Structure formats: C-alpha cells, structure tokens
Structure 1
Amino acid sequence: MSTFQRQYVSNLVPGNQKLFTAILIMVAVVNSATLGYDTSVMNGLQILPSYSEYFHLNVATTGLNNAASWMGSILCTPLLQFVPDKFGRRKAIMVSATVCFIGITLQAAAQNIGMFIVARIIVGLGTQLSSGAAPALLGELLPAITRGRILGFFFSCFYVGSLTSAIINYGSQHIQSTWSWRLPSLLQIMPSLVALCLLPFVPESPRWLMSKGHDAHALEVLIVTQGKGNPNSEVVKSTFAEIQAAMMSEKTQLPQNPWKEIVSTAPNRKRLFILCTFGVMINSFGNFVVSFYLGKILDQAGITNTNTQTQINVILSCWSFVVACIGSYMLDVIGRRKHALGSVAGMIVCLYLVGGLIKVYGESTNKSGIYGTIALIFLFQGCYAFSITPMTSLYATEVSQYKLRTTGIAIFRFFDSGFGLMSSFALSYAMEDLGWKFYLINASYNIVFFVIIYFSWVETKGLPLEEIALKFEGPTALSGQMLSDEASPGEGDLKQPEKRDGVVTTLSL
C-alpha cells in the first residue's frame, strides 16, 4: 500500500491526534479568553477612579458603557449564521479577530464617552462572531469522546481572559495617568492575535466542506485528524458515512432556508425553545451582576477600599477558572441535564443568603457578616462556573443539526446578548433602588429556569453530533442511511468521493 499523500490539508495540521487535540484546546483557550477579557475589563475599569473621573460617569453612562458591547453583539447575530456557513468557520474566526483589532484600538485611544462607546460596540461585534464560529468549528472537528470536555473547556477559558484582565487592572491602578485604563484596554488585542497565529494549524470543518460539495477534502480532514493518516481506518469510514447520511437526510427533511426550518417541525420548535430560554438564562442567573458590578456588590457588603476590591476581583477570577475546568471534565461524567440542575439549585440558595446577609450586615462593621457575604459570592460564582460556563459553548452547538447549527447558535446568542444589553441598563438602577431585595428577586426567577431545564432539556452526553438528532426526531433523523450505505466506501476499497466541481480524485491504496 502506498503512502498516504495530503492533497488538501496543510502540512501544518498535525497528524498526531494528541498534538492536534492540544492545538484545538489552545484555539478554545484564546478565543474564549477574548470574550472573558472583553467582558471583565469593564468590571476592572469601573473600580479604577481614573476611568470614572475621566469620563465623568454616572448611573446612566455606567450602564451605557457596559451595554455598548452587547449592542455590538446584537448587531452581529444575523452574521453568526451567514458568515460561518457562507465562507467557512476558519475565515469567520479571521474576520472576528480583524474586527476586534479595530475596536480595541479605538477603545484604547478614546478621547470622550462617545468614542469609547462606539469602540465597545465594534469589539462586541467582533467577539460575538468568534463566539459563534469557534464553537461550531471545534464541535465539528472533535469526536464525541472529547467534544464535551473540550467544548466545555472553551467557555471555561472565559476566566483566563477574566483573570488576565483582573491582574492587569490590579497592576495598572498605580499608573498616575489615563494609561491606568488605556493599557488594560489595549492589551485586549493579545488573545485575538494569538488566535490568528493558531489558524494555520487547524483544518476547516469536514461537515462544512461536505455541505459545499468538497467531499474529497472533507474525507482527507477526517483521515488526518481521526484516522492517524490511514485511509482504511474504520473510524474514518464510519464517521464519514454517518456525516454523509445526516447530510443527505437534512437535504430531504430540511429543504427550506434554515431560519424557516427552525420553526417548521415540532422537534425543531423544541430546539428553538431550548435555545431561546437558555440564551435568556445566561445573563439572568445573577452572574451578570458579579461580572459587571462586583464593585457595587462589595460596596453594599461594606468593602469600599479600591485595592481590596481589585484583589477580590483577581481571586474570584482564579476561583472561577479552576471550578469551570473541573466542571468541564465532569460534563461527560454527570451529564448535561443533571449538571445544570445541580448548579442552578446552588445559585438559588446562594442568592437568597447573599440578600439576607447584605440586609443584616451591609452597612455594619461586623467582619463575620462581611466575610460571610464574600464567601457566598464565591460559592454563587462557583455554582455558575461549574456548569453554566462550560455549557455556554457546548449545549447550543450540540442540540442543532448541521444545517441549523449556526442558525441555532445565532438565535441563542441573540437572546444572550439581548438580555445582556437589558441587564446592562437595568441592573445598575435595580441595585441602586432595591438594594438587598434585588438578590431575592433574582433567586426567585431562577426557580423558573430550574423548572424549564428539568422539563425541556435532553441529555447529549457521549453522543456523536449526528446521533443527537435521534433525541429530537427519532429514527427518521437518519433516514438517509440506506442511501449513504450505498454511496459510502466499501471495505478495503476506500476512495475519495467525486468532487462536485468536476475534479475527480482517488486515493491510491
């Protein structure tokens, strides 16, 4: 048998599966760190007096500054389906990094509040595009056995960016100029730069390639990434046949535009309900308050020293990252549904207790009460980080079929960003007016989220993407299997499929 020769996949893409998995983990880290830094930099900046004084911030402009990136995210949601499906997942990541460069440069150079807000909108647009394209690429490249952990790890690395931002803000608070906030803004550019450097080592999604008629290229990606360079690999044969069956079935069952298909059948409407409600939950559990208004929470708890607040911000980011990494690993042990239910229950309890402690000790000097409040904030954030953080990039990717995947992610991100935008404006006023009662109200509507998860979520643990459809459609999801079996390569005679652009290639065995 002659040696396998690559015709489409770059030689920079490693054939060693362990090395390739490590690169995908790095892609997850840097793309998620971009999101984490972007979100958490505002938390750190608002603790710095130089930032608030430069822009003469009040309650309204503070909310507007926080809301600006969410505005960009909402503007980007129509592109989350179009760009990755039209041009590919890799090119979408490249575009997102370029947009982030522009926004970050403007933010660091901002001369007034208007310029800063426009910059934040542009950054929000760029990071949102990455949050759709990168999970889709990773989910479609990874086998089921590692998909849960690595995709869960994707958003867990949000805290890498959050921690980096917290450390930089802690150090920059001593700079006696506007560079105390300009430097943390400028350094947002680093994760996007690293993401661009990693792209040559990652192939395009085989599912996207097959959807565009490049079956030969798709098969070669599978041989390199899952078959250890062996064209006769049984793993490659079965994976290729399964993808092919699902693609053919989708063409028959989902002939319309994906935006129409998402509401056309009962199984798709169930997917839509899960995506919409989960999108609402992401920024409504109470984590948004900790991410954007930690300084205000600490003020209410009786901790007003800027240096102490920035130290707590750093420690909280470290804690959240460690817990999120453990939670990512446990996704394939506990399962998605039980994982989420346990964490939501924990958050409900913590918020009720935080509200009670702030009521009793918020304006006192009782150190035990203050430390108890801080401990509960850490426990709350741990509950969120353990489950919801890793599920953010995983569950929306898993529940949708290929044709609906980027559409589903776009819908999920629209509701995520929309409620993030609403929270940005509303929470600063709610916390100001309601005080300790705010936390009790938040805990109460989290009970509704618990009920929704209990009755609507399906378990996807350990299932290939194509088999998850069986949880929604039943056996008809793979009705194209017979056609695929006739078209799929036979034992010992694996040939690359005919390319639809007229070029026919065959592997020599």
Structure 2
Amino acid sequence: MNISNRRPSFVEDEDEGESVPLLSRLAKEEKTPWYQKPNLRMLYLVMIPTCLGTEMTSGFDASMMNGLQAVGAWEHFFQHPHSMMLGVMTAFYPLGGICALPFVAPISDTLGRRRSIVLGSLLMLLGALLQTASQNFTMFVIARFILGFGIPFAVIAASSLIGELSHPKERPIVSSLFSSSWFIGAISAAAVTLSTFSMSNNWAWRIPSLLQLTPSVLQLLFIRFLPESPRWLVAKGRHAEALAILTKYHAEGDEDDEFVKMEYAEIEKTLELESKNAKSSWAEMVATKRMRRRVLIASFLGIATQSSGNGLISYFLAPILDSVGIHDNRTKNLINLAIVSWAFVNSTTIAVTVPRMKRRIAYLTCTISLFCIFSAWTAASAIYSTTGSIVAGHAVVALMFLYSPAYNIGYNALAYTFMIEVFPYHVRSKGLTVFQWWGRTASFLNQFVNPIGISAAGWKFYTSYCLFLLFEIVFVYFFFPETANRTLEELAFLYEGDEIRHQQEEEVEHEIEIVRARSRSRAPI
C-alpha cells in the first residue's frame, strides 16, 4: 500500500464531519478483504481454536450445568441438589476465577499472551479430567474450582492477543466474535447432554464432563502456530520481531509497505509515551481521576455482563421452566439446545455488524431492550404464578428467545472490544483483570443466590434484575465514552487531556514523516 503524499496525519472524515487519524482512515479505506490475504487469513483461522476457543470452555460449562440438571443419573448420583447445594456446585467455577485473577496480569505481562493461554489450558485440562472422575460432591466442586481457576489466564490473554494482533480494519469484528464463540461451546454441551440424558448410568454426566476438555486440547495443539503480540514484543524491547509479525500478517510480507511502517511507528511511539507518563502498577489504577474512571467502567461492565438476568438462562433454565409448568426433561434439554443455537446465530450476526455502530448507541440499545424484555418476562411469570395461564408460561419461553439478541448487542458483542479500547497497553491486562474480577464475583454471587431466590420467591425475585437493568441504562448514558473507529494507539490517551494527546499526535506525525521521507528517497525517479 503506497501512501506517500496522500494526506496529512489527520484528515476530515467526510461522513462523520470529524478529524480522523490517518492510520484509521487508511485502514478503513483498505479495499482487499482479509480472506484474499493468505497470511492474514491464516492468522484469523489459527485464532479460532487458540483464542476464540477459550470462551468456548465457559459456554460449554454453563450449558452443561444447565443440561445436567435435567439428567436423571446426575441428579441421582449427587442426591438431587437444589437451592444452596446447587448454588455451590455452579458457583465454584467463578470462585476459582476470582482466586486466580491476582496472578493473571503479572503472568500475561511478564511471560506473554501465548504462555498465559498455555497455562490456563493446562489447568482447565486438569479440571475437566477431575470433574469426569468425580466420586462425590466434594471432588466435583474442587474440579469446577480448578476449571474456573484456569479460565482467566486464557481468556484475558486471548482477548488481549486478538485486539493486539488483528488488522485495525477487522479488529472490532474479530474481538466481538470472541464473545460469540461462547455459544459454540454452549451448543456443543446442550447437544451432548440431550444425547446422554436418557442413559441410566453415570456416563450420562461423565461424558459431557470429559468433553469439556476439548477446547483446551485444541488450544495446546494450535498455539505454536499463533504469533505473540507485537505490542508485548515492543514493550519487551524485541522490536525486530514485532515489525516482522506486523509485516507478515498486515502487509503480506511486503517489507516496504508504508501502512505497516506507520502502524509500527504508532505502536512504538505510543508505548514509549505511555512508559514516560505512567507506571504499570496496580496503584496507578486508582491514582488518577482518568484511571479511576476506566476502572469504574470496567467494574460496572463486569457486573452488568453477569447481573442482567443472563445467569438465570445460562445456569438455571430447568427450575425456571419448572416454575412455568414445563417438567419433562427431554423438553427442557430441547429448549436449552434451541436457546443456545438461536443465541449463536444472532450473536454471530450481531458480532459482524454492531462493531460498526457507535459504542454508546449500541450499549443504550442493549440496556433499554433488556429492561423492557425482562420486565415483560417478570410480568408473564407473575401471571402464570397467580392464574396458571398456559399462554403466560409460553410467553416466558418466548421472551427468553427475545432476550438473547438484546443482550448480545452490547454485553456479548462489545464487552471485550470496548475494554480493549478503553485501557491503554501498559494497563490493558490489569483493566481486563478488573473487568473479569467483578464479572466473576457477580457470577459467583448470582449462581449461589439465584437457585435460592427462585426457590424462595419465584417471580418476585426477578424484580431485583429489573431494578438493576434500569440502573444500567442510567450508567451507560452518563459514563460510557465513545471509542468507535480508532486504532488502539489513538485511544491510548482517551481521558488524559488535550496536552498529552497533542504530544502523541505530534510524535507519531513526526515518525510518519520520517517514514514518508525514507520512502520518497528510495522511490525511482
């Protein structure tokens, strides 16, 4: 891509009427699709088992635990767990994640993204094997704790790696597909439990438990083909390796490609400027108003992604269906499979379309839709509870299907995309750790409390979610920044004020001019 003498470093976007950095504009104007670029195409294909596969494990776990509650052999083996005991069995998975999170960012930043994925995969492999071999309640929950302990190492590193490796043009979409891959695991688990639920022996639940190791095995097999993050390499002083990776995958090996030279210059100068103006420490996360605002947004988003009613469908579908008169185990498993299959279809469609939207518009659409749908769900449940209306019971099931795309617009498609954009490189792993910590804490509390609340209060328990969804609308409106249509480096100083942003722009522009001058000096006369 020859860009000499084309534009100044910042240009006016004709469609948006605002100043757009040159690199973002050039990425947007790139005409050759990714699938016609052999190296980039291979990179994205390798990301499927290695990076997207980490979310498949979480999806498999949620759907499997949902399905096992309708598997007679599992119910009999564990003496029909319900209320608090069922809460413990599901909650130990996020509890493991909470305990792992203090170690995740140091390992990801020190050892690299790839090694962190390997460590998480090995832990999840061990957890899945122990879960399969469980002989009692204690062994089962310990296995789930180990599974949960391993998942943050892989998820945080993989989500960072996707954002830091992808071409700027496709980065928002690939990051959004990361979350939608959750449903691949969910569909697999739902299909497996549907196939085994009628078995009369313990393999009815041991087979799904064993198959939970599949994504981890795929990560370990394919990780050798995945390059390391260029930004991590630059931060570690391995500049030549970083430039080689960018050249191979973003320029198809063309060492003279000026776009990659500019991209590398932007990464190098921005990381250099970040290192001068900040320290990568936990204290810095709350040291300034701008960082506290980032932490506040990450904390809210972590809680919201797990406390918007989705945990009810993901982990406790069976008792919810019981509460509206659906008691047949086969029907429950079929509904579970149908819900996750529909969720995969709409989440994938949303993942390739919503990232083109403004972030604030997408999140407001998500939260307002969720509030309306969940309020209707609560009302329908109340009507069934008081009148026994079959129509109201069926309405609850229909609203579950409507809930899925509403949730996926924001909390699935954009969660990791948005977090990667909000946090600059030097605190990105820590920012994602904050997001994960609050998300897994909320998940732990919800998974423990939900079965107790459903059992004790029925539909009245749902009103707490309605109130929280109303709060989400207010928070998004007042606190969420707009981050769409920028590279990660252009967003590095989102809250830092005009002075440091202008300094960044000047240094990057100076480096770009040097690149252009070198290109002109080598050009044939």
- Report the TM-score, using the length of structure 1 for normalisation: 0.90
Alpha-carbon spacing, 1:323–1:28, altered in 2? closer, same or farther (3 Å): farther
Q: Percent identity over the alignment? A: 28
| 2:64 match | 41
| 2:352 match | 329
Residue 327 of structure 2 aligns to a residue in which SS?
Answer: coil
* Contact map agreement 1:59 1:428 (CA 8 A) in 2: yes
Residue 282 of structure 2 aligns to a residue in which SS?
Answer: helix
Residue 163 of structure 1 aligns to a residue in which SS?
Answer: helix
| 2:328 match | 305
Alpha-carbon spacing, 1:355–1:486, altered in 2? closer, same or farther (3 Å): closer
Determine which of 161, 186, 205 is the counterpart of 2:210.
186
Alpha-carbon spacing, 1:335–1:232, altered in 2? closer, same or farther (3 Å): same
| 2:164 match | 140
* Contact map agreement 1:15 1:229 (CA 8 A) in 2: no
* Contact map agreement 1:207 1:218 (CA 8 A) in 2: yes
| 2:111 match | 87
Cα displacement (A) at 1:487: 6.7
Figure out how many residues of one structure are paired with residues of the other and give that number: 480
* Contact map agreement 1:168 1:184 (CA 8 A) in 2: yes
* 1:135 partner amino acid: S
Cα displacement (A) at 1:147: 1.0
* 2:220 partner amino acid: L
User: How far apart are the structure 2 equivalents of 1:350 and 1:413?
Assistant: 26
What's the Cα RMSD here?
Answer: 1.8
Name structure 2 gaps, 5 residues minimum.
1-36, 520-525
| 2:430 match | 407
* Contact map agreement 1:401 1:466 (CA 8 A) in 2: yes
Q: What's the CA shift string for 1:78-127, capped at 9, x where partnerless?
A: 12211110100011111111111111000000001111111000000111
| 1:258 match | 281
1:289 aligns with 2:289: no
Q: What's the CA shift string for 1:353-408, capped at 9, x where partnerless?
A: 11111121247664322221210111112311232112232222221000010000
1:467 aligns with 2:483: no
| 1:174 match | 198
| 1:4 match | none
Correspondence list, 1:108-507, <5 A: 108-254=132-278, 256-362=279-385, 366-475=389-498, 476-477=500-501, 479-480=503-504, 490-491=515-516, 493=518
Cα displacement (A) at 1:276: 0.8
* Contact map agreement 2:92 2:144 (CA 8 A) in 1: yes
User: How far apart are the structure 1 equivalents of 2:41 and 2:517?
Assistant: 26
Residue 413 of structure 2 aligns to a residue in which SS?
Answer: helix
User: How far apart are the structure 1 equivalents of 2:432 and 2:131?
Assistant: 27
* Contact map agreement 2:355 2:414 (CA 8 A) in 1: no
| 2:21 match | none
Determine which of 70, 84, 99 is the counterpart of 1:60.
84
Alpha-carbon spacing, 1:364–1:342, altered in 2? closer, same or farther (3 Å): same
Alpha-carbon spacing, 1:330–1:487, altered in 2? closer, same or farther (3 Å): closer
Q: What's the CA shift string for 1:181-231, capped at 9, x where partnerless?
A: 010000001111112222122110000001111011111111111111111
1:100 aligns with 2:129: no
* Contact map agreement 2:270 2:492 (CA 8 A) in 1: no
Name structure 1 gaps, 5 residues minimum.
1-13, 495-509
* Contact map agreement 2:354 2:409 (CA 8 A) in 1: no
| 1:78 match | 102
Q: What's the CA shift string for 1:50-93, capped at 9, x where partnerless?
A: 21221122322100001111111001111221111010001111
* Contact map agreement 1:262 1:272 (CA 8 A) in 2: yes
- Report the TM-score, using the length of structure 2 for normalisation: 0.88
Residue 116 of structure 1 aligns to a residue in which SS?
Answer: helix
* Contact map agreement 2:365 2:409 (CA 8 A) in 1: no
* Contact map agreement 1:210 1:218 (CA 8 A) in 2: yes
